[in-house]
Structure 1
Amino acid sequence: MSKRILYLAMSLMLAFYAGAASAQQLSLAQISQYLNGLQTAQGGFTQINQDGTLSTGQIFIKRPGRIRFEYNPPNEALVLASGGQLAVFDPRSNVPPDRFPLNQTPLGIILQDNVNLGRERMVTNQTSDGTTTTITAQDPDNPQYGNIQLVFTANPIELRQWIVTDEFGTQTTVIMNDLVTGGSIRDQRFNIISEMRDRGF
């Protein structure tokens, strides 16, 4: 094979692999469509905290506006979002949960009724390694609330991980384990008032 033909063949191969890799990068429209179509989901999760400690548990999502993190022992904490509120239950405390407006937390970005990542200043970074697409999103009107970095795979599109950076710069990583979409999840799982009543508050 002549050098010219060999060079041409190598160029075509490189172009093919580059095209295959770039084809794995998801567009913001594709990611928005995936999130808007994600009505319910549940599975396991592993959480990496700011101090490097690990927590595990089960996650339940029911869009719009609802999410539940059940932590395994010895943690046994509970985080609930519904009714526009995010509540953090600490089993070591005898006081009611800390509550925050959901739209003032980065999680509110993916739980809102209509996710539109194409909004100006919402996505501040987007990268792809040929296998995953990572975006960093914030509330474009209130960037001081922090941001959420989301990692997706393609074919099919799946949310695999996120990193929440809150208003104080604290980072929390959540890695999904066997997230199953679809199916029925009772609204009661996300009822903050009912959970408070069950815990004697």
Structure 2
Amino acid sequence: MSFRLSLPLFAAPLLIAAAQPDLAPVQQHLRAVKTMTADFTQTDKNGRTLSGTLQLSRPGRIRFQYEKGVPLLVVGDGKALTMIDYQVRQVTRWPIGKTPLALLLDPDRDTAGVVKTVPSGNPNELLIEGRDPKHREYGTITVAFRRDATAPAGLSLEGWTVLDAQNNRTTVRLSHARFNVPIPDSAFRWTDPRPQGPRH
């Protein structure tokens, strides 16, 4: 079986305008969470779902460890987001600042662009939508937060959906989130399937 990670998961930048007061709780949540672990499910445009575990450590580090039998790994080391496909021994990298995970990994970064809240139909959910008006080819990302009095700043990150310029939709949903727990530095290292050996 061939595995491919849908590029829209990482292809649209999330930009936030700090001057928008209704987005203040989101900024407060992101700044309060230094580390996070969660389970995730990723659904692509064809309805195919993969699952795994997520580890996040700010600033700049994240790891998507896919379920057993899926030869994919995604790691952010603070500078780049790297996708490793062990089946075909391929490594692909993007600057973190050009991915939708940029805000989630560094909420204090100087950003320019527009994010707005959008109706969710659920009073316990906060949705924000981001798109870069200068790069419409990046598509649109919608990030979902659940209102939770026990979570940092009263919000818990539920996941995100990316719609690319070709209307291909990729959705990531999180569950069993734990905040500000110890995560070892080794979580953000990976083994290069190419001849060079370990990378970090």
Fold shared by both chains (TM-score > 0.5): yes
Between the aligned residues of both structures, percent identity stands at 28
Check whether the contact 2:59–2:78 (CA below 8 A) recurs between aligned residues: no
The aligned runs of 1:42-57 (5 Å cut-off) are 42-57=37-52
TM-score by length of structure 2 reads: 0.74
Instruction: Note the residue ranges of structure 2 that are not aligned, 5 or more in a row.
Output: 1-20, 150-154
Structure with greater proportional strand content = 2
Query: What is the RMSD computed on CA atoms of the aligned residues?
Result: 2.7
Task: Tell me, in whole angstroms, the C-alpha distance in 2 between the residues paired with 1:74 and 1:47.
Answer: 15
Q: Could you list the per-position Cα deviations for residues 37-58 of structure 1 after superposition, in whole angstroms to 9, with x for gaps in the alignment?
A: 1110002111111221010100
* Residue of structure 1 equivalent to 2:173: 175
Give 1:168 deviation, angstroms.
Answer: 5.7
SS at match of 2:87: coil
The aligned runs of 1:72-87 (5 Å cut-off) are 72-87=67-82
Give 1:134 deviation, angstroms.
Answer: 0.7
Task: Tell me, in whole angstroms, the C-alpha distance in 2 between the residues paired with 1:113 and 1:40.
Answer: 13
SS at match of 2:54: strand
Give 1:142 deviation, angstroms.
Answer: 4.9
Instruction: Note the residue ranges of structure 1 that are not aligned, 5 or more in a row.
Output: 1-25
- Residue 151 of structure 1 pairs with residue 144 of structure 2: yes
Give the length in aligned residue pairs: 171
Greater RCO, CA 8 A, separation 6+: 2
Question: Residues 126 and 71 of structure 1: is their aligned pair in 2 closer, same or farther, counting only changes over 3 Å?
Answer: same
- Residue 123 of structure 1 pairs with residue 112 of structure 2: no
Structure with greater proportional helix content = 1
SS at match of 2:192: helix
Larger gyration radius, structure 1 or structure 2:
1
SS at match of 2:68: coil
Check whether the contact 1:46–1:174 (CA below 8 A) recurs between aligned residues: yes
Question: Which has the larger displacement, 132-141 or 169-178?
Answer: 132-141
